Amino acid sequence: MFYFLLVILSVSVADGWSDNRQRRFKDDFLFGTASASYQVEGAWDADGKSESIWDRYVHSRPKLSPDGDVACDSYHQISRDVQMLRELGVDFYRFSIAWTRVLPSGFPNKIKEKGLQYYHNLVDELLKYNIQPMVTLYHFDLPQSLQDLGGWTNPLSITWFEDYARVIFENFASKVPHFITINQPNTVCVDGYGGDNFAPGINSLGVGDYLCVKHVMLAHAKAYRLYEKEFKTKHQGSVGIAISVNWIEPINNQTENVEAAEVAREFSIGLYVNPIWSKEGDFPALVKERVAAKSKEQGFLTSRLPTFTPEEKDLLKGSSDFLGMNHYTTGLAQPSAAKYPSPSFLDDMSVDFTQSLDWVQGTSPWLKSAPFGLYKSCLYLNKQYGYPTIIITEHGWSTNLGRKDPSRVDNLRAYLTALLFAIEDGTVVKGYTAWSLMDNVEWGAGVSERFGLYEVDFNSQNRHRSPRVSAHVYKRIIEQRVVEDTWRPTSLKMEVSTRRTGKNKSEL
Ligand code: GBH
């Protein structure tokens, strides 16, 4: 008897999460997929669109190939893009609006009707098939004209964004139920201003990056309050922000590594979540203390991390209807051995990351599969911030060319299973978004890293799209509401999902 118990115990421990219960996504759980303007639209200078920081960044670096000039040609392929969404049977499509297409000067003094029309056509086509649009206002592509004025390091960027947001809300609030203000402030700021690997590549380490964070957070809050005050009563939509929440685990349970992981979570997650979801409406205390101390040591008279006024904290606090969570991978933390440039964000944090050799590697160098990290991220947010309403606004996997993508199928199933466990343990998750609908321009990496449920042939005139195995598997999950271990499509031919057979809202 004792031996028998021991066997059961060790099997269930080894197996981690498996038991016999079948976990389902409730009928009102929303499934979607996503893209972003620069990554799919192409037509980079068509119909009066102005230059964005990504156009400039890629065009001025001879080593980078200008894949974004044409990208997936989505600017000319609305019906094909929406057809794919109907095939998948998704509830919503997350895409972004290019600021430069709508307001080429960066300001609302000149509104480009043709730019607006493209998004109206896309939104109308989605609504025709009962697919909800989820619109990101800013996904990394600032007008270069505003960058020339300092971009997000200029405090006036808060007003520039608010004015742009007003134009978008005025035009789309009646049709669009979900808005995301800004995608991944950490990428916008720490990658974009605290280095050279991401547009605009300002290289202002430990200074420009934090200035940007302050203004991006306030720009978000202003746009949220604008919608709340002038659009919400009438249109009843929701407005959130998409934050990069990758999991950080200590490399082992030694105290110094556990502490390093805690520090790293405050620097990479808390910096953006705390101002909105904590009662103080401010950056995390730990980050404020660390950056202030380092700054002093370095001879600065004030902390490199800017502060918020009491009014700004009030503006920030609670300024989101949902926490958009972009989750891809997990890092293992330990105190840094490496010497980072001083000052810099990395020096302030002083944590090094590795990933386990046991985790499957994607095509992107930073991407390994560790599904437990999604579960732990959710529980962490619940504990720290009191069960916020979450939408997974991105999760995905990169492969090479080819329509057979077993590693994406495995990754999708494992992460959705982890999500079901997080939901069972109390996480409030309204929806899940697969990144990405189709292969697209992976920023500086161009079209070499392929994140699509649909493969795109970048050598063909019309950027021909074809479904991968994972597209069929995702479609099946959306229909069945469960994650099956072994189901496979019998052919790669795709038809419109029975959930989206073309009936419009009034018919349903
Ligand atoms: C998301 O974040 C983006 O929102 C989306 O546009 C993108 O396509 C998707 O992820 C997949 O990457 O090579 O070690 O220097 C992307 C954030 C920022 C993650 C740059 C990878 C490069 C790390 N990315 N980062 S490294």
Q: Can you tell me whether residue 499 is helix, strand or coil?
A: helix
pLDDT digits (tens, 9 = 90+) for 171-192: 999 999 999 999 999 999 999 9
Residue 10: per-residue pLDDT: 42
Q: What confidence category does residue 300 fall into, taking pLDDT thresholds of 50, 70 and 90? A: very high
> Is 435 near ligand 1, meaning CB less than 6 Å away?
yes
Q: What confidence category does residue 71 fall into, taking pLDDT thresholds of 50, 70 and 90? A: very high
Determine how β-strand 92-96 pairs with β-strand 178-183. Answer: unpaired
Q: What confidence category does residue 17 fall into, taking pLDDT thresholds of 50, 70 and 90? A: low
Query: In this model, does residue 9 exceed pLDDT 60?
Result: no
Mutate to test the pocket of ligand 1, among 443, 453, 456 (most ligand atoms within 8 A of CB): 443
Cβ-based neighbours of 482, under 8 Å, separated by 6 or more = 22, 23, 24, 25
Domain segments of the chain: what residues? Answer: 20-246+312-330+374-398+408-507
CA-wise closest residue to 55 among 93, 94, 99: 99
> Is 36 near ligand 1, meaning CB less than 6 Å away?
yes
Query: In this model, does residue 11 exceed pLDDT 50?
Result: no
Q: For the chain, give the mean pLDDT.
A: 95
> Is 353 near ligand 1, meaning CB less than 6 Å away?
no
Mean of pLDDT values over 453-480: 98
- The Å distance, Cα 433 to ligand 1 centre, comes to 16
Q: Can you tell me whether residue 105 is helix, strand or coil?
A: coil
> Is 145 near ligand 1, meaning CB less than 6 Å away?
no
> Is 394 near ligand 1, meaning CB less than 6 Å away?
yes
> Measured from the CA of 183, which atom of ligand 1 is nearest?
4
Q: What confidence category does residue 16 fall into, taking pLDDT thresholds of 50, 70 and 90? A: low
> Measured from the CA of 443, which atom of ligand 1 is nearest?
8
Supply the DSSP symbol for 438: B
Taking CA atoms only, the protein residue closest to ligand 1 atom 12 is 442
- The Å distance, Cα 305 to ligand 1 centre, comes to 24
The strand pairing partners of 182, in sequence order, are 138
> Is 153 near ligand 1, meaning CB less than 6 Å away?
no
Indicate yes or no: pTM above 0.85: yes
Residue 18: per-residue pLDDT: 67
Q: What confidence category does residue 505 fall into, taking pLDDT thresholds of 50, 70 and 90? A: very low
pLDDT digits (tens, 9 = 90+) for 256-299: 999 999 999 999 999 999 999 999 999 999 999 999 999 999 99
Cα 320 from Cα 210, distance rounded (Å): 21
Residue 8: per-residue pLDDT: 42
Q: What confidence category does residue 21 fall into, taking pLDDT thresholds of 50, 70 and 90? A: confident
Query: In this model, does residue 508 exceed pLDDT 70?
Result: no
Taking CA atoms only, the protein residue closest to ligand 1 atom 6 is 36
> Is 183 near ligand 1, meaning CB less than 6 Å away?
yes
Residue 403: per-residue pLDDT: 98
> Is 187 near ligand 1, meaning CB less than 6 Å away?
yes
Mutate to test the pocket of ligand 1, among 187, 352, 369 (most ligand atoms within 8 A of CB): 187
pLDDT digits (tens, 9 = 90+) for 320-354: 999 999 999 999 999 999 899 999 999 999 999 99
Longest Cα–Cα distance in the chain? 80
pLDDT digits (tens, 9 = 90+) for 42-63: 999 999 999 999 999 999 999 9
Cβ-based neighbours of 364, under 8 Å, separated by 6 or more = 398, 442, 445, 449
**HSE-CB for 252 with a 13 A CA cutoff:** 1
Query: In this model, does residue 409 exceed pLDDT 70?
Result: yes
Supply the DSSP symbol for 150: T
Cα 488 from Cα 472, distance rounded (Å): 8
Mean of pLDDT values over 235-262: 98
Residue 19: per-residue pLDDT: 76
Q: Can you tell me whether residue 11 is helix, strand or coil?
A: helix
Element of type H or E holding 244: strand 238-244
Residue 500: per-residue pLDDT: 78
- The Å distance, Cα 442 to ligand 1 centre, comes to 8
Taking CA atoms only, the protein residue closest to ligand 1 atom 26 is 366
CATH superfamily of 20-246+312-330+374-398+408-507: Glycosidases (3.20.20.80)
Mean of pLDDT values over 116-129: 98
Mean of pLDDT values over 396-401: 98
Query: In this model, does residue 15 exceed pLDDT 70?
Result: no
> Is 184 near ligand 1, meaning CB less than 6 Å away?
yes
Residue 20: per-residue pLDDT: 79
Q: What confidence category does residue 507 fall into, taking pLDDT thresholds of 50, 70 and 90? A: very low
Mean of pLDDT values over 457-472: 98
> Is 448 near ligand 1, meaning CB less than 6 Å away?
no
